[in-house]
Structure 1
Amino acid sequence: MDASGLNLDLIKKYNVQGPRYTSYPTAPQFKEVGEEAVLDLKKCIFKRNQEAHQISLYFHIPFCFSLCWYCGCTKVITKDQDRGDIYLDYLENEMDQVKELLHPDSKVVQIHFGGGTPTFLAPDQLTRLGSAIHQRFNTNSKTEFSIEIDPWRCTREHIRVLKSIGCNRASLGVQDTNPNVQKAIHRIQPYEQTKLVTDWLREEEIRSINFDLIYGLPRQTLATFQQTMNDVLQLKPDRLAVYSYAHIPQIMPAQRLLNVNEMPTTDEKLSMLLEAIAHFTGNGFRFIGMDHFSRRDEELSQAIDNDSLQRNFQGYSTLAGADLYGFGMSAISNVGNRYWQNSKEMNEYYRLLGKSTLPVKRLLHLCKDDLVRKDAIMRIMCRKSLSKSEMEEKWGIDFETYFGDALQNLVELERDGLVSINRNEIVITEKGRLFLRNIAICFDRYLNRGKTDRNFSKTV
């Protein structure tokens, strides 16, 4: 992507609150449910699994040794690693319940450990978790198996164990390499430690490595962020995620510990974004969309060209159509036309599993309109265009009539060069790839009819 086509005025204009569209409808639309609805859900899962499906498994490990003040994840702060054994007891309970509902020939194509800090678990606990998964589900050497790693809380033995249980991808939380910024956000992580863990991963042939960066943090300047980008490029990552810091202390109270007076101005923050796009695309990376970059020879880049790029709760992926089962507190699942989310409270998560029921607290059954709009929005997030004729043929609609409001909403975006609309398709321009969330918002029935609050992060 050529960053010269962007400017601060355009970015500020579209830097509004909006969903990240890891799902549609988005999580605020999920409804709280009781045990009767969960029993019905189990029946639906069992019915769907009268035939085999490809499946994706997500495991939420909520524990962290210390609190990063910027973090917006569901987490439990503790130094007691014995809590990991108790948590694994319940994870195995949950896996047993789900396994009984699945077709025995269903194949696992993707596994992801998220958190929290999955490497909070000791090596023997990770071994136990890996064994529990492989014993219950059909995995093989081709299963895509990724983990989120805090380099400061990771040993060589962790990496050896991850390799032994089949892990072949890793995402390292870096955020920023500047010591003053790290102190301001309460996350001390020397660059040397990040390099050490990266080297260990490659020595164990876990070669697909992603780094997470954040711009807009206290004490960051354009100069310090440029140094962070240079630092991570020395480690030769395969992918990069460059996130905008979302300051939402009303939802994440720990963010009140940050000094807002030390945060960069809007212009400074957005200048970091422009610099990131220019710097990474000038150094062999392709801008995938929103905040993701991939090496030009890496599969995410190839997926854009062959229209196989997908999006789910773990971000961008090349694996299409798998049923997603989430395990652990707060984990979200998506199977067929249903989303559901586990309890975000650990005691409640444990209590429900102790009653031999799934720990589901929120659920959404998608209607046909949800499914049509989900298809449109996911095509926008993952492809270079949205074909009107393909949507009409698949869903039996007249595109111009069905999406009349959306087309009207797109007029200004087309005027600003983010999309190009012709008789047959809506084309996302190279400049528009930064504003995918804004384009998708135009098709979001809930936002455009005022049926949800806009308590989301900024779109840029």
Structure 2
Amino acid sequence: MAVYAHAASSPFDTAAPQHAAWDEELVRRYDKSGPRYTSYPTALSFHEQFGAEDFTAALERSNQTDRALSLYVHIPFCHKICFYCACNKIATKNTQLAEPYLSRLDREMVLTSRHLDTSRSVEQLHWGGGTPTFLTLDQMSDLIDRLDARFGLSSSPDRDYAIEIDPREADVFTLRHLQTLGFNRISLGVQDLNPVVQKAINRIQPRVLTETLMDEAHRLNFRSLNLDLIYGLPHQTQESFADTLRQVIELNPARLSVFNYAHMPQRFAPQRRIKDDDLPSAEEKLAILHATIDMLTQAGYVHIGMDHFARPDDSLVVAQREGTLQRNFQGYSSHAQCDLVGLGVSAISRVNDVYAQNPTDLARYEQALDAGQLATVKGLRLSQDDLIRRDVIERLMCDMQIDLAAISKRWNIDAPRYFADTLARLAGAERDGLVVREGDILRATPIGRLLIRHLAMAFDTHLPSDTTKRYSRIL
């Protein structure tokens, strides 16, 4: 296993005592509910007065910018439901059910590409779900061929073509096929390696499944490999999750996403199969998080922000260091300034100054496309204030700091005056040591990086007064 020297850009610098950056009482006080800011404004601000015509107009306007494209394809199918899941998915074992869906995806591609200059480079491609590896190898090939025919896929070594993989539904032949299709980055869902936890979440996944795929991915020279973990699941303890982390560190992935499980059974029916009494207490959950950050930073991973970690040589770390890291609906991205076109049920597009979302209901999605129309059911065109605040929140989430002078220059405003009310709202966080002001630089401290969602909320003018019903807790 390669162990990297600890990077100075990590928010928990192991050169200093870990307890200097960790104040449990402070963390608990600021651990409120709030958005993850994969977009600003968040999807709660989208409205149904925004429709397909508004989205097509935005697509056409975007051609004047000559920005590269990012394509997201949502595959909603899974063979089996995991009880923790909050994704838009359809459980079935019949892969033939994907055929009509792929046909409608193609219709959506045709309708969308009519309004795009398809000479624009597709720098990013991401298949998510559901479980994209639900598709057969032939169906995957067919989908790639359709995407290439409609948009023109890239063979550039700098492209970022990623797919989410369930290790229970893939093997070494799957990886070899994905490589021939042009994918160069994969993300494996692991969640936890403890058998008791796996049984409680209905996801039995022995380590050997993950390890075999990782070995093959390294042999095939996939550029980057991510593992998804979740803390806060039933029966997890600090000790049990530390054991999972030790095994994961041995596997040596380039990136790790360690998500906070948000138990919201009133919104997500599968979560009703999880007993409240089996979940770790708030104290235990924080202990798991603290130990996770300690173990991963000591193993040489850089804490990008929130729940993302990466090795110092990974493109995410390089992008953060160079100030080009971006945040979108798939999380952190090293490819800045792309127009994101979302395809499939529930998919969201971010094109120029608009967001557009497809229906979460499959029948409604199919009905629109069968009528020869884009399936957009809601969205939002951003105001000038929205655009400015989106820029500021994204830089805060990605850089862990805000350069007010740069914001002033970029938007032709006096940023300190423009955000005077916001800066006043951050005074308490500054007193508590979450953020420091050094001239025009507003910088999150190590503990502030962990609570970066709270800092971002100060800039959010769309935030509802009660965030507890619609958003998960920060930690």
* Structure 1 counterpart of 2:102, one-letter code: L
Checking the alignment, whether the CA contact within 8 Å between 1:123 and 1:157 is kept in structure 2 is no
Summarize the alignment of residues 46-445 of structure 1 with structure 2, pairs less than 5 Å apart: 46-50=60-64, 52-142=66-156, 143-445=159-461
Could you say which residue in structure 2 is the equivalent of 1:450?
465
Going from structure 1 to structure 2, the CA distance change for 1:357 and 1:451 (only over 3 Å counts) comes to farther
Cα deviation code 1:82-134 (max 9, x no counterpart)? 01111110111111111111113211000000000000001111111111112
SS in 2 for 1:70: coil
For residue 462 of structure 2, give the secondary structure of its aligned residue in structure 1: helix
Distance 1:43 1:12 in 2: 45
CA displacement 1:213-256 (0-9 Å, x = unmatched): 11111011111101100111111100001111100111112111
Q: Partners in 2 of 1:425 and 1:352 — Cα distance?
A: 48
Report if aligned partners of 1:122, 1:158 keep a CA contact under 8 Å in 2. Answer: no
Distance 2:407 2:361 in 1: 40
CA deviation after TM superposition for structure 1 residue 312, in Å: 0.5
* 1:27 aligns with one of 43, 65, 72: 43
Of the three residues 16, 22, 39, the one matched with 2:53 is: 39
Q: Distance in 2 between matches of 1:454 and 1:406?
A: 24
| DSSP-derived class of the 2:258 partner | strand
Q: In the superposition, relative to structure 1, how do residues 44 and 300 fare at CA in structure 2: closer, same or farther (>3 Å)?
A: closer
> Aligned partners of 1:49, 1:89: CA distance in 2, in Å?
26
Q: Per the alignment, in what secondary structure is the counterpart of residue 34 of structure 2? A: coil
Shift of the 424–51 alpha-carbon distance from structure 1 to 2, 3 Å rule, reads closer
Runs of at least 5 residues in structure 2 that lack an aligned partner in the other structure:
1-11
Q: How far is 1:71 from its partner? A: 0.6
> How far is the alpha carbon of 1:453 from its aligned partner?
7.0
SS at match of 1:31: coil
Quote the Cα distance in structure 1 between the aligned partners of 2:378 and 2:352. Answer: 16
Query: What value does the CA root-mean-square deviation take over the aligned residues?
Result: 1.5
Please, what TM-score do these two structures have when normalized by structure 2?
Answer: 0.93
State the Cα distance separating 1:33 from its structure 2 match.
3.7
SS in 2 for 1:189: coil
| Partners of 1:446 and 1:452 within 8 A in 2 | no
The AA in structure 1 aligned to 2:231 is Y
1:8 aligns with one of 1, 24, 27: 24
Q: Which portions of structure 1, spanning 4 or more consecutive aligned residues, are displaced by more than 6 angstroms? A: none
Listed as ranges, the gaps of 5+ residues in structure 1 are none
Identity of aligned residues (%): 42
Q: CA deviation at 1:401?
A: 2.7
Deviations 1:303-341 (A, max 9, x none): 222111111111001111100000000000000110010
Q: What secondary structure is seen at the aligned counterpart in 2 of 1:445? A: coil
Aligned mates of 1:384, 1:157 — CA distance in 2: 40
- Aligned partners of 1:50 and 1:103 also within 8 Å: no
Is residue 2:464 matched to residue 1:459?
Answer: no
Q: Match of 1:444, SS? A: coil
- Spell out, residue by residue over 1:146-188, the C-alpha distance to the aligned partner (whole angstroms, 9 max, x if none): 0011101112222121111100001111000000000001111
Q: Normalised by the size of structure 1, how large is the TM-score? A: 0.96
Counterpart CA distance in 2 for 1:425 and 1:147 is 37
Aligned-partner SS, 1:247? coil
How far apart are 1:454 and its partner, in Å?
Answer: 5.2
Query: Separation in 1 of the partners of 2:65 and 2:168?
Result: 44
Q: Distance in 2 between matches of 1:376 and 1:315?
A: 17
| Aligned amino acid, residue 474 of structure 2 | T
Q: Which moved more, 1:53-62 or 1:426-435?
A: 426-435
Preserved CA contact (<8 Å) 2:58 2:353: no
Name the SS for the 2:83 alignment partner.
Answer: coil
In structure 1, distance between residues paired with 2:465 and 2:232:
29
CA contact (8 A) 1:146 1:168 kept: yes
Number of residues of Structure 1 aligned to a counterpart in Structure 2:
457
